[in-house]
């Protein structure tokens, strides 16, 4: 299976289940003309995967995209430390939505599926000292919404409603159900 993502978290989640992964990515512009936020994320996920699948027609290609959304505003990966601090301030003491879309494509087998999983994350109030400490750790700089739920950012999370792994970047349970619907069993995972 080809993972069309450089995300170490996605690779780790899939490796834990025995997927034999080859990493191949294409640089695409991560924008969508879709109006609905969920449709936008699904579109971007699909674009990442199809760009790789077109050059690997006989292979299963999987990829994903994750965003944080609050008050209708999408928080992607921060470009600067100040942007990361502002994102964390906007999330402090509030709840927000995390949307992860994933796509699986095998052009030779006419498989082209994209789904999205939504979760809600509730943050405690974060002090300026905590924000400064966290941003200085550099952890938020490659994470949607400027935090990683599986790392140091976990100290900000009061509770979640939804799928922890989707918040982390790949909804593995949902993905396995999709594979099962395609007739791919857990026992055969390391063979695809």
Domain tally for the chain?
A: 1
pLDDT tens figures, 140-178: 998 999 999 999 999 999 999 999 999 999 999 999 999
- Model confidence at 190, pLDDT cuts 50, 70, 90, reads low
| Predicted local distance difference test score (pLDDT) of residue 189 | 66
Q: Is 65 a catalytic residue?
A: yes
Mean pLDDT of the chain: 94
Q: What average pLDDT does the segment 124-128 reach?
A: 98
**43 contacts 31 by C-beta, under 8 angstroms:** no
* Distance, CA of 176 to chain centre: 16
Tokens representing 54? 């077109």
- Neighbour count for residue 156 (Cβ, 10 Å): 21
Query: With contact defined as beta carbons under 8 Å apart, do 141 and 84 qualify?
Result: yes
pLDDT digits (tens, 9 = 90+) for 47-83: 999 999 999 999 999 999 999 999 989 998 999 999 9
pLDDT score for 30: 87
Task: For residue 89, give the 3-state DSSP assignment.
Answer: helix
Kindly tell me if the per-residue pLDDT of 130 is higher than 70: yes
131 pLDDT more than 90: yes
Q: What is the CATH number of the domain that holds 161?
A: 3.90.950.10
Q: Rounded distance, CA 126 to CA 103, Å?
A: 34
Per-residue pLDDT at 153: 96
Q: Is the pTM of this model over 0.85?
A: yes
Domain of 57, in residue numbers: 2-191
**Looking at the predicted structure, is the pLDDT value of residue 32 above 70?**
yes
Q: Which of 27, 39, 58, 65 is catalytic?
A: 65
């Amino acid at each position: 299976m080809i993972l069309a993502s450089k995300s170490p978290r996605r690779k780790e989640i899939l490796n834990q289940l025995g997927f034999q992964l080859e990493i191949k990515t294409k640089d695409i512009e991560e924008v969508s003309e879709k109006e609905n936020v969920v449709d936008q994320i699904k579109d971007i996920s699909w674009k990442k995967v199809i760009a790789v699948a077109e050059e690997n027609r006989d292979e299963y290609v999987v990829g994903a995209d994750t965003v944080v959304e609050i008050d209708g505003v999408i928080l992607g990966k921060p470009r600067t430390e100040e942007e990361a601090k502002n994102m964390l301030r906007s999330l402090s003491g509030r709840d927000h939505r995390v949307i992860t879309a994933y796509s699986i494509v095998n052009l030779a087998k006419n498989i082209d599926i994209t789904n999205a999983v939504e979760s809600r994350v509730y943050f405690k109030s974060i002090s300026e000292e905590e924000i400064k400490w966290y941003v200085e750790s550099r952890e938020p700089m490659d994470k949607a919404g400027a935090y990683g739920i599986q790392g140091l950012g976990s100290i900000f999370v009061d509770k979640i409603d939804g799928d922890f792994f989707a918040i982390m970047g790949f909804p593995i349970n949902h993905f396995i159900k999709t594979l099962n619907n395609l007739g791919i069993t857990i026992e055969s995972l390391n063979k695809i």
